[in-house]
Amino acid sequence: MAEELAHRILSDLSTAFQRHPNIDEVGFICCPTCQHNRSPVVVENNKLGIETWCLELIFPYAHDKVLRARSRDDSGRKIKVSRSARSLLEATRAVLLVQADCLTAWNIRKELVEAEDLKCIQDLKFAALVLTKHPKSSETFAHRRWLLKQVVQKTSSTSPQPHPVAPASHTNGLVAGDQASGGATAAQPLSAQRGTKAELPCDEKLLEAELAVCQRSAERYPSNYYAWTHRAWVVENVARCHYKILMRELSDTRHWISRHISDHSGLQYRQFLITQLGTHFRSADALQDEFLPLLTAEFELLTDLITAFPGHEALWYHRRYVFQQWETVLSVYKCPKSDNSASSRNLTHLHQGRSDIPAEFSRDCEDGKPHHATVVQGNKKAKVDPAYTEHLTLQTELEFCRNVMATCQDGWQVRLAGSYQHWLQQRILGRDNNPL
């Protein structure tokens, strides 16, 4: 009786997807018992609802079908049981809507994609639907990365200059967890793409859709490490750290962190972006003229946020990072031009470190003379005098800490300022003991 009912509910679920191919969200309707003689599967305005009383019936039934799609011979090797692709799609869909981290179900869908019984774009759409209910599902994001690799590889095979996709290798830890997903060497950033007219190395619609999925997942679950990790992977391996994409992402996340000031994962993503952008600035002059004003604007943003929203540790740690980058850039362009070894050493340290950029910018330079840099924030442009950057020193940061501790009444904010002050003082001691 229960198995027959589960089979009927599974059929209702499959029918719902056939009649409504544009379902874009799924949720569970709290209903402990069956109160009406009707299907527990409801679709309204492309939103799928499943009554909770039927989950204990449909999940074991579908999960059993998934497991029976795998068996072992006498030697322990996995073999397939003869089963139609449609039946497997229905079973894995039901399982994953309830338990998104069922790796066996995702692997079966991979095999269906390889057998061309399921299209990559269709499975990307389904995985996005799963993330509306399970926004922090690591296996779902891992499956999306596998699907994206298939799409990009197919696109690259028809392109005269293929762009390989590989797992990320940056040092801030955002995408380190994907090392097991396969691949060899991470794609190198395209330094020649600093012009906004450079062609994107991927389908822009595909990229936009994937970034939108990451954005929605981050909104649904605070400090969603998996969503930000996946977003960084997409930028590095699908967009190949294209200059235009990096700058647009920096501008978008500037607004985002202003509304999510305690989201450390979001700040880590910004640090990843500036790390990648830093590789586009190969000379000390470029760092001074373009990179340094951006860090200036980031300091101003952090000062505003710390003042307006006291007591948020993530902002203070992000300020440490920005100051560290600031010191590195200053050490690069203050090196004598004849001291190529010191300059190269500092440039390497900068490109290997973590970074963060607040907004888009443009250069107001038509000749080789020193110039201002234009920092774009929203619809306003403000020129940053290179001489102004000399005034931001370790002493001014110490003064900022003292001012916060003297005027703020929030005890935790005072403690965070004191911790930052201690960190700065330790840097003074370290710099005196280890001069460049």
pLDDT at 198: 57
- Sign of torsion over alpha carbons 161, 162, 164, 165: positive
Tens-place pLDDT, residues 327-343: 877 777 665 443 444 44
pLDDT reported for residue 250: 87
**What is the dihedral angle through the alpha carbons of 411, 417, 422, 426, rounded to the nearest 10 degrees?**
160
pLDDT tens column, 21-33: 999 999 999 988 8
* Per-residue confidence band for 435, with pLDDT thresholds at 50, 70 and 90: low
> Which residue's structure tokens are 């019936």?
57
- What is the predicted pLDDT for the residue at 8? 94
Strands (DSSP E) contained in 207-335 are none
Residue 185 pLDDT: 36
Q: CA-to-CA distance for 139 and 360, rounded, in angstroms? A: 34
What share of the chain in percent tops pLDDT 70? Answer: 72
Q: What is the dihedral of CA 226, 230, 236, 240, to 10 degrees?
A: -170
Identity of residue 34: C
In order of 20, 30, 200, the CA distances from 17 in angstroms are 5, 21, 34
Coil, strand or helix at 133: helix
The pLDDT score that the predictor gives to residue 366 is 37
pLDDT at 186 over 50: no
Asked whether the CA dihedral 158, 161, 167, 173 is positive or negative, the reply is: negative
Mean pLDDT of the chain: 78
pLDDT for 415 equals 97
Q: What confidence tens digit (pLDDT) does each residue in 40-55 have? A: 999 999 999 999 999 9
**C-alpha–C-alpha distance, residues 370 and 103, integer Å:** 57
Specify the pLDDT at position 158. 63
State the burial class of residue 382 (Cβ atoms within 10 Å of its Cβ: 0-12, 13-18, 19+): middle
Q: What is the mean pLDDT of residues 286-296?
A: 78
Task: In whole angstroms, give the CA distance from residue 293 to residue 383.
Answer: 9
353 falls in which pLDDT band (50, 70, 90)? very low
278 pLDDT band (50/70/90 cuts)?
confident
Of 350, 355, 257, give the one whose Cα is nearest residue 301. Answer: 257
**Residue ranges of domains in the chain:** 1-132, 283-363+370-436
Q: Which two tokens stand for residue 55?
A: 């989950």
Local structure of residue 280 (DSSP, 8 states) = T
Is the model more confident about 140 or about 301?
Answer: 140
Check pLDDT > 80 for residue 188: no
Closest CA to 233 of 292, 176, 277: 176
Residue 231 has pLDDT above 90, yes or no: yes
- Sequence-separated (6 or more) residues with CB below 8 Å from residue 12: 39, 40, 41
